[in-house]
Amino acid sequence: MCGIVGYAGNREALPSIIKALHKLEYRGYDSAGVAILGTELNIFKACGRVSSLENNVPTFNGKIGIGHTRWATHGEPSQINAHPHTDCSRRFAVVHNGVISNYQQLKEELIAEGHRFISDTDTEVIPHLIEKYYGGDLEAAVIKTLNILTGSYAIAVIAQTENKMVVAKNGSPLVIGLGSKENIIASDIPPLLDYTNRVICLDDGELGIITQEAVKIYKNGRLIDKPVSIVDWNTEDVQKGGYEHFMLKEIHEQPKVIRQALLNYNSAAEPIIGSDFMGNKAGKGLLILACGTSYHAGLVAKYVIEDLLDVPVRVELASEVNHRERIIPVANAIAITQSGETADVLISMKKLIDAGCSTLAITNVKGSSAARLANQTLYMQAGPELSVAATKSFIAQLIEMYKLILMQPALSEPLKTQLVSELKLMPGYAQWVLDHEDQIRDCANHISPYSNVFYIGRGINYPIALEGALKIKEISYIHAEGYAAGEIKHGPFSLLQNDTPVVAIVSKDFTYEAMITNIKEIKSRRAPVIAVAQEDDHYIEQLADRVIRVPNMHNLFSPIVNAITLQLLAYYTAKYRGCPIDFPRNLAKSVTVE
Ligand code: F6R
């Protein structure tokens, strides 16, 4: 999604802005641009990567500037549609993340008043409105403009005649880093870490005035005091650290992520949400909301909660919930979101909160919108995740859910003790998978020429089949379907022949026999089968064409090792196919529009 940055300080703004834009590349984008306030307002934009902007931009001097990475929504990716946008007199420059829903009507009115538009974007109305309302005071013109905009935005504005940057937010994220004699703003925390770990998260309806010396935040025209948060991420966390891709680095960080999350874990302690939240309050059960990979974490949690706590759980795609006319009443909901900024999740959370529902957010980003919206927040401890494909955040989500569930008083003490000691073995098992990467790389080599692949699983590993398919399709561009193994014969069988490999997750639990039958059925259609199976499963070798081994363990936690295995399978398949792994086409890390 679009990323915005802005700098006001004692250094040259251009290199600071370019560096910050590189740190936002992980969000996904198709063009980039900068505006630097020097003796005049200089704007330069380029299609493609930030490096193309960097290599071609003239040397603009100035200590205040804004920058943008654009993920096209209104108008194709092009230099003209790239931000910053400006007005007729080129006195104002604006970068924007979000969607202005009433832009068409505003544009027609402005054109009738004589304004000339050059782009297809919704954003371009903003500088024209500022131009229209400007009477010598930038913030007054911005406020008047915001009053007539509908939709979502995080914006940064600079003006030729004013030594400051004005920022505002409604629905899209914006954080402000407080440095020493310099201040920087961005859509996310990584660009700030080169300057400071002291940040202010702007809330909806707030406006900030940023200069080299000061950051002032206003709400409804009144100066307010905003809390400053200290971010515990550092610059190494947002570098590749010798790995070829962020995704591989993040996959390899998983044993550490799990270990850290389990450090000092005490299942006897009071859980952040107790049985009244997790329980079957008023017979309405529990709702879990999420999108994409986080949704798959919610599906795993459903199996665990229903099996261990006997509580019915509904897991819903947030993108569906937020478009339902009627919200089915629910007392408590858990929103799972790595970024904490996914628009669909935030909208559905708001709907539920308005309907009287109590919400818990499980998120990776301190001070994110989901964290601020929810009644309670549980922070997963994954550290910054920069590859577009979610890996360590998925595992961190699972661990937080396991921890929460195993703290519930409804579980007997002996079962808790047994499961907690099994859970504590997981860093070692995750490391085992990484230490046996070669077998996965071989299978990736085998899969890479195919155009279609199926992933099947049963029970608690059915969501992992969905996740494995999502991962490979997003980064290797192979068409992949995740299926509940028992459903294959209800339709997809017509597609299975020798050119469609099937990755089968074979759990050593009560689903084993059924899975073996499914594999035999698939083999008789001559589709190649790659089984992901435990070390002690020797029978599987007689059936599958290839076997990827995972360590023997309690089945409840097997989604962790199976998911890591399938992350590596997707990674190496994409690598064999020469794909841009960290920045898959058309995708964005943080999906801040509906
Ligand atoms: C897939 C992926 C996406 C995200 C989804 C939700 O690898 O990363 O499917 O899981 O966009 O994002 P969050 O968790 O930030 O709400």
Q: What is the model's pLDDT at position 284? A: 66
**Stretch 546-558: mean pLDDT:** 96
Task: Spell 294-304 as b/e; 16+ CB within 10 A means b.
Answer: bbbbbbbbbbb
Tell me the per-residue pLDDT of 241-260, one tens digit each, with 9 for 90 and over: 889 999 999 999 999 999 99
Contact in structure between 337 and 363 (CB atoms under 8 Å): yes
Q: What is the DSSP-derived secondary structure letter of residue 541?
A: G
Residue 277 pLDDT class (50, 70, 90 cuts): confident
The lowest-confidence range among 68-82, 391-405, 441-455 is 68-82
152 close to ligand 1 (CB < 6 Angstrom): no
Task: Return the SS3 of 440.
Answer: helix
CA distance 15 to 11: 9
Residue 371 CA to residue 291 CA, distance in Å, equals 16
Per residue in 208-225, pLDDT (tens digit) is 999 999 999 999 999 999
Please tell me if the CB atom of residue 339 comes closer than 6 angstroms to any atom of ligand 1.
yes
CA 377 to chain centre: 17
- Tell whether the torsion through CA atoms of 178, 179, 185 and 190 is positive or negative: negative
Q: Is the CB of 389 under 6 A from ligand 1?
A: yes
Under DSSP, is residue 205 helix (H, G, I), strand (E, B) or coil?
coil
Residue 266's pLDDT is what? 86
Q: Which of 44-53, 274-283, 331-340, 388-397 has the lowest mean pLDDT?
A: 274-283
Residue 292 CA, ligand 1 centroid: distance in Å:
5
Reduced to 3 states, what is the DSSP secondary structure of residue 528? coil
- Mean per-residue pLDDT for 24-28? 84
Torsion of CA 444, 396, 423, 463, to 10 degrees: -60
- What confidence category does residue 271 fall into, taking pLDDT thresholds of 50, 70 and 90? confident
Residue 282 — pLDDT band, cuts 50, 70, 90?
low
pLDDT tens string 426-480: 999 999 999 999 999 999 999 999 999 999 999 999 999 999 999 999 999 999 9
591 lines ligand 1 (CB under 6 A): yes
> Could you tell me the pTM of the whole model?
0.85
Given 3-state DSSP classes, what are the helix, strand and coil percentages for the chain, each rounded to the nearest 5?
Answer: 40, 25, 40
Residue 275 has pLDDT above 90, yes or no: no
Q: Is 343 in the pocket of ligand 1 (CB under 6 A)?
A: no
Each residue's pLDDT tens digit, 287-333: 999 999 999 999 999 999 999 998 899 999 999 988 888 877 788 99
Which of 203, 184, 228 minimizes the C-alpha distance to 23? 184
Confirm if 488 and 526 have CB atoms less than 8 A apart: no
Q: How many Å lie between the centroid of ligand 1 and the Cα of residue 96? A: 22
Among 338, 582, 590, say which to mutate for ligand 1: greatest number of ligand atoms within 8 Å of CB: 338
What's the CA gap between 543 and 61, in Å, rounded? 67
Catalytic residues: 2, 589
Percentage, residues of the chain above pLDDT 70: 99
Instruction: Mention every residue, 6+ apart, whose C-beta is less than 8 A from residue 594.
Output: 99, 319, 322, 343, 344, 347
For residue 220, is it left (φ>0), alpha (ψ between -120 and 50) or beta? left
